[in-house]
Chain A
Amino acid sequence: MGKPTVVQSEDRSTPGGAFSEGYVEADGFRIRYMEAGHGPPLVHLHGARGLRLTPTHDLLSRQFRVVAFEMPGFGQSPENRRTRNMADLASTMAQAVNNLGIDTFNLMGTSFGARTALWLALQQPESVLALVLEAPAAIRPENAQPPSGSPDEIPSQRLYAHPERFSSGPAPDPAIWAKTGPLVMRLRGPNRDADLEHRLRNLTTPTLVLFGTVDGVIPPEMGHLYKEVMPNCHLVFVYDAGHAISTERPEAFTEVVVDFLERHEAFIISRTETVIHP
């Protein structure tokens, strides 16, 4: 484990203070990323709302070299009309990681980005040490309708168990979703993707799936399906969290993720000390 990084900003309202911005070329895209920390690499692929640093990024960067990408077509990047499907996007992101000189890494995907992460792991199983899927969107209820508007329009009570604790922030720029929306719609794939699920049956990468118990975007009842499909998968419910687990319960999220990344399946062995007075 690398030496711990001093995290400059632990302020919940402005997370990511210790992260520095970089760009990497891949597949003809110029891809922005935010990076902090030392230690084993941990690559993060964001959800459909784009890259947003959370207190969890700060906490994870104490033990990992965290590289959080802004995937092409999201945020301030130019419109992406080239990427045809999720497998394409995964292959671009694999190249981006590789071009940073990272050979093997832990991979974390959030919601939409969890689906990208799964495709990436399927394409390069030897590079991915372990997978963390935060409220993944790779398996959705059969009758689920795609969101009618931008993910920024999702009511905050579906993202958070306690929306009153989070400020809504500056109003999102509608121009961004006008550009990103078609990409997300093109890439999100079917609710149940038989091909993807078939491939996942042979993916032996240690995988941790996390769902908030009150996720209002993807029902936490989807969690067990990953376990049924993937041979080396663990499911954890984060109590009293909505879809945005890493924003809502960063300490709880980080603790189990770090433990899993360090110990993989042995993370079920407790290390909690209960001695009160030795």
Chain B
Amino acid sequence: MKVSYFETARYLAPRNLPREWPVPPEAYDREAGAQAYQGMINRLRCAEELGFDWVSVSEHHYSPQRLTPAPIVAASHLAAYSQTIKIAVLGPIVSQRNPVQVAEDLAMLDNLAPGRLVVGLLRGITGEYLTYGLNPAEARERTTEGMELVLKAWTEPQPFGWQGRHFQFRTVSVWPRPLQQPHPPTYALGTSRESCEFAARHHLGLGVSYAPFEVISKATRYYREQCARYDWQPTPGQIIYRANILLAETDQEAEELLQKQRSGQPPFPLRAGVRDALLTLDSRNVAGEARVPNVGGILPTNFCGGPDTVVDQIKRCRTEVGAGVIDLMFQNPSAGNLSFLTRSLELFGKKVLPRIRGL
């Protein structure tokens, strides 16, 4: 089992923020921002020292909840401050970006952090479509086409044109080429039938997130079935499970913190009218079974307890989900102070990591 530490550049607001997305930029505190980005490097070093295999970043916009709207910028910063840990960009929201630029940026990063880049490509959660004015009805098709173009841009030896449905380029000829050949380890991120099929067809890994094991395992099972259809078999390392973890010294402490956290509100909800409209416009599925999009709701905590319990849960995850990589978002229930986060990170490195290595 490989373990990835999901870093979001935690921002501790010095004063109360408006509880709504988008959060007005005037509320941004420069000093707090500087600390958030410094903390990112501190935790990176801690994770690398503790033996985490990867550090990951994601793309989210217009709020302090994840201060990485430009994940490739964040990733290159992380790469510059580390030596061995893999840098996982999970990932650029392909639906709302120029795929050729995504291919270029990632290829450059693969050379800057030689052999350390891992890539996840995704459609983005529903609320993200508001960032650059993307029509939700087009998001899936743009993602599929964009991902295909990224792969082509990495692998074609000669300049080519792209006559797409959503993208058109007369000449694409990416320099530098990725260092890892044919391209960095790449995952399609998502639980949908379409993501699984895309990943299987292109021999990519699959990255799934947050839903409970029994839901997620439907997607990973479907993915493996599709891979079999294309005559190949993914390794466990080709399945990433991104999950929330609340790790404390004891089960009881973790359970108390979880209760405290549950009573909270979602941090930056969308206005009800926007949320409701998005719910009707976006369609999501797990391996073909329709599911309600998560528009600003609280995500479940998938691993919770003291070290022994968490080790057992991770073992179950390995068996049930088939994931060979867990990408962990360490929960920080005590807002306003990051010491709990650092403590759980260290606790994980010392008491959990050595016991799940051999899984």
Contact between B171 and A239, CB atoms less than 8 A apart:
no
A237 near B158 with CB under 8 A, answer: no
Q: Is B161 within 8 A of A234, CB to CB?
A: yes
Q: Is B170 an interface residue (CB 8 A)?
A: yes
Are the C-beta atoms of B163 and A238 separated by less than 8 Å?
Answer: yes
Q: Is the CB–CB distance between A270 and B158 below 8 Å?
A: no
Please name the residue on chain B nearest to A233 by beta carbon.
B158
Q: Does A30 contact B (CB under 8 A)?
A: no
Query: Would you give the shortest CB distance from B229 to chain A, in whole angstroms?
Result: 12
Given A240-B145, A240-B165, verify A228-B160 contact (CB < 8 Å). Answer: no
Among the 9-residue stretches A130-138, A164-172, A248-256, the one with 4 or more Cβ atoms under 8 Å from chain B is A248-256
**Which of A210, A235, A253 has the largest count of B CB atoms less than 10 A from its CB?**
A235
A51: interface (CB < 8 Å): no
- 14 A–B pairs (Cβ distance < 8 Å), ordered by A: A213-B148, A224-B156, A224-B158, A227-B158, A228-B158, A236-B161, A239-B145, A239-B148, A239-B167, A249-B163, A252-B163, A252-B165, A268-B161, A270-B170
Interface positions of A (Cβ within 8 A of B)? 210, 213, 223-224, 227-228, 234-240, 249, 252-253, 255-256, 267-270, 272
In the complex, which residues 34-67 of chain B have their Cβ closer than 8 Å to any Cβ of chain A? Answer: none
A237 touches B162 (CB 8 A): yes
Q: Are A224 and B163 in contact (CB under 8 A)?
A: no
Whether the Cβ atoms of B170 and A237 lie closer than 8 Å is no
Interface string of B130-168 (1 = CB under 8 A from A): 000000000000000100110010001111111111011
Which residue of chain B is the closest to A255 with respect to CB atoms? B163
CB atoms of A236 and B163 under 8 A apart? yes
Task: Give the CA-CA distance A253 to B170 in the complex, in Å.
Answer: 13
Distance of A272 Cα from B164 Cα, bound (Å): 14
CA distance A270 to B159 in the complex (A): 16
CA gap between A270 and B162 in the complex, in Å = 13
Which residues from chain B contact A267 at a C-beta distance below 8 Å? 170
Given A267-B170, A268-B170, A268-B171, also A235-B164 (CB < 8 A)? no
Q: Is B170 touching A227 in the complex (CB atoms < 8 A)? A: no
Q: How far is the CA of A165 from the CA of B161 in the complex (A)?
A: 25
- Known contacts: A213-B148, A267-B170. The answer to whether A253 contacts B163 by CB under 8 A is yes
Chain A residue nearest to B166 (CB atoms) is A239
Interface centre among B149, B167, B171 (most CB of A within 10 A): B171
Instruction: Give CA–CA (A239, B152) in the complex, Å.
Output: 11
User: Are A256 and B171 CB-contacts (below 8 A) given A227-B158, A237-B152, A239-B145?
Assistant: no
Residues in chain B near residue A223, CB distance under 8 A: 158, 160
Q: Is the interface of B mostly helix, strand, loop or mixed?
A: mixed
**Alpha-carbon distance between A237 and B171 when the two chains are bound, in angstroms:** 11
Q: Is the CB of A239 within 8 A of B156?
A: no
Please indicate the chain A residues that have their CB under 8 angstroms from the CB of B165 in the complex.
239-240, 252
Determine if A239 and B162 form an interchain contact, defined as CB atoms under 8 angstroms apart. Answer: yes
Q: From A213, A224, A255, give the contact of B157 (CB < 8 A).
A: A224
Question: Chain B contacts of A227 at CB under 8 A?
Answer: 158-159
Evaluate whether A237 and B145 lie within 8 angstroms (CB atoms) in the complex, with A224-B156, A268-B170, A270-B170 already known: no
Across-interface contacts of A270 in B (CB, < 8 A) = 170
Per-residue CB proximity of B185-221 to A under 8 Å, as 1/0? 0000000000000000000000000000000000000
User: Taking the nearest CB of chain A, how far is it from the CB of B166, in angstroms?
Assistant: 9
Q: A227-B159, A235-B158 are in contact. List 10 more A-B contacts (CB 8 A).
A: A213-B148, A223-B160, A235-B160, A237-B163, A238-B163, A239-B162, A239-B164, A253-B163, A255-B163, A270-B170
Closest B residue to A227 by CB, please name it: B158
B169 to chain A, nearest CB (A): 9
Write out the residue numbers on chain A whose beta carbons fall within 8 Å of the beta carbon of B163.
210, 236-239, 249, 252-253, 255-256
Question: Do B161 and A237 touch (CB < 8 A)?
Answer: yes
Q: Which of B161, B163, B168 has the most CB of A within 10 A?
A: B163
The interface residues of chain A lying within 8 Å CB-to-CB of B148 are 213, 239
Give min CB distance, A132 to chain B, whole Å.
Answer: 13
Cα of A227 to Cα of B152 in the assembled complex, Å: 16
Return the chain B residue nearest A245 by Cβ: B163
CA A227 – CA B159 in complex, angstroms? 9
Q: Which residues of chain A come closer than 8 Å to B159, judged between CB atoms?
A: 227, 235
Query: In the complex, how many angstroms separate the beta carbon of A73 from the nearest chain B beta carbon?
Result: 33
What is the distance, in angstroms, from B55's C-beta to the closest C-beta of chain A?
34
A224 touches B160 (CB 8 A): yes
* C-alpha spacing A228/B145, complex, angstroms: 26
Q: What CA separation (Å) do A269 and B163 show in the bound complex?
A: 14
Shortest distance from the beta carbon of A39 to any chain B beta carbon, whole Å: 22
A173 to nearest B CB, angstroms?
34
C-alpha gap A253/B165 in the complex (Å): 11
Min CB–CB distance A108 → chain B (angstroms): 16
Contacts of B157 in A (CB 8 A): 224
Residues from chain A with a CB closer than 8 A to the CB of B145 are: 239-240
Contact partner of B160 (CB less than 8 A), chosen from A236, A252, A272, is A236
- Taken together as a complex, chains A and B put the C-alpha atoms of A210 and B160 apart, in Å, by 10
Q: How far is the CA of A239 from the CA of B145 in the complex (A)?
A: 8
A251: min CB distance to chain B, Å: 10
Bound-state Cα–Cα, A272 to B163, Å: 13
With a cutoff of 8 Å between Cβ atoms, the chain B residues found around residue A213 in the complex are: 148, 152
Q: What's the Cα separation between A237 and B159 when bound, in Å?
A: 11
CA distance A169 to B159 in the complex (A): 37
Give chain B nearest CB distance to A201 CB in angstroms: 15
Complex CA gap A235/B157 in Å reads: 11
Cα–Cα distance between A210 and B163 once the two chains are bound (Å): 9
Complex-state Cα separation, A175 to B148, whole angstroms: 41
Q: Are A235 and B161 in contact (CB under 8 A)?
A: yes
